[in-house]
Structures are given as C-alpha cells and as structure tokens.
Amino acid sequence: MPGSHDYMIIKDFIGKFLSRGYAEVSRLDPEIITLEKNLNDDRQFFYIADLLQMRILFVSSGSRTILGVDPDQWSLSTFFLKMYPGDSERYSRARAQLIKEGYSLLIKRQGISVLSSTFRVRSGSGNFINLLFQGYSFFSDIPHPTVFTLLLLTDLSSFTLEKHGYHYYLGDDPSMFRYPNDELLKIGHIFSDREFEIIKLIAEGLGSEQIADKLFLSVNTVNTHRRNILKKTNKSTTHDLVIELQESGIL
C-alpha cells in the first residue's frame, strides 16, 4: 500500500513532541506507529536534532530499512561514512550552510529555514542510491531557546533524475517542504548538460582553450556557452558564478 505523501503528519509530530524537546519519544505511541508506517511506505525516514547542541534526539525506523543503520546507532558522522565520495565535499558545504541558517534563526529568535538537495548514499544492500535531503529548521524557546532541525530523507530510486547538476533549494518557503515530484526535483537546474560540464571545468581552473581541447569543441563554441551561462545567471564573471554554486552546494 503506498504512503500518503502527506507531510502534515510530520508537522504534527513536530508540534506534539516539542514541549518535551523530542526526548524519550516512544515508538509505541499510536501516532509514532502511524507516522513510521507512512514513512516506510513512502521509502522515507527522518531524524530530529537540536542543531545548536549538535545532538540527535530521535531517528525513525526507516534508517534500518533504507541505509542498514539501526536508529539507536545513528550519529552525526553516519552520513559522512556512507556518502558517495564524489558528493562528500558538496555535502559538507550543505551541512555548513544548514548550521549557518540555524544560527541566523537563533539570532532572529523566530522563523523557519528549508534546505533541500540530493546526494548519493550507500544503502543497506551496499549500493549507492539517490536520497533527497530535506532539512526543516525552526527556532523554539520551548523547552529552551534553540533551533531544531528535522532532516527527512527520501529514497529516489523510483524517480528519474536530471543527468547534470543537483536539485538545490535554500529559503524560508514552507511549501518547499513537501513530498518530491518532478517539479520540485528540477529546482536548481537551469543549465544544459553541456553548460554544466563547462562550469565544472571552469571550477577546476581550465580556460576556454583547455576546455575546447578536452570536450573536442571549438574555442568559439566554448565562449558562446560561457556567455549564455552568464546571461542565464545575471553574473558578470564565471568566477563569481562558480563561487556562488560552490557555496550553495550545487558544485
């Protein structure tokens, strides 16, 4: 039976267990049983953490099914150990951005932040799968002033993903925290395959002539792509663009 694809039950969890700071959440609670079933049907799991104390408070049982990690054995280093090597640096930047957003919420003492992207992670069966990471962070002064982050992971094995780039969103729009569809997963993709290939080579320090030689293109074609890339992004230089893409976790 398919899951409900409804995140309201997740938001109900956030509200119900907030007063106790998500400590000692019982898996025998009827609402937790229903939540776990829906998540498992949708090939999802989540953990919730106190972002400022860097402490994981609760992990749903799907971590065992999807990644082969017992919920009680979960730690903040788990993803680093299971991350696809080619995604590790990008994951580190996204994690740093998540923490930065958390401190911003603490300073304002209000608001939410949503950070969403895709990464390849080793599954319980040993192969790498695409997971959608959706971080929902919010300030609360209950039971003590802090920022909580609920990180929801969705197995994207049944989805068709773009061949280039990565889905990426960072902002305060709560509607972005929803079950993935093609529209959501395409957010962050504005470049063609060739454009993104050229951007990655620019980031590696290659000039137009070197890129042309590597991709068997004319220098004029490479420069045309570079102009189109700048036009799409309203940037004056590719250097500025590369820095922004690296900081956002797209590169």
Segment 125-143, tens digit of pLDDT: 999 999 999 999 999 999 9
Domain of residue 225 covers 193-248
Same domain, 140 and 171: yes
Same domain, 162 and 120: yes
Give the distance between the most distant pair of CA atoms in the chain: 65
Residue 188's nearest CA partner among 94, 69, 82 is 94
Same domain, 92 and 209: no
The pLDDT score that the predictor gives to residue 106 is 94
Same domain, 46 and 152: yes
Same domain, 48 and 139: yes
Same domain, 133 and 221: no
Residues of the chain with pLDDT under 50: 1-2
Same domain, 110 and 223: no
The pLDDT score that the predictor gives to residue 245 is 80
Q: Tell me, what CATH number does 88's domain have?
A: 3.30.450.20
Give the orientation angle of helix 219-233 with respect to helix 193-203, to 10 degrees.
100
Same domain, 94 and 135: yes
The pLDDT score that the predictor gives to residue 17 is 95
Same domain, 96 and 50: yes
Domain count, the chain: 2
Does the residue 179 lie in any domain?
A: yes
Q: What is the token pair recorded at 10?
A: 């997740």
Pair 146, 106: CB distance under 8 Å? yes
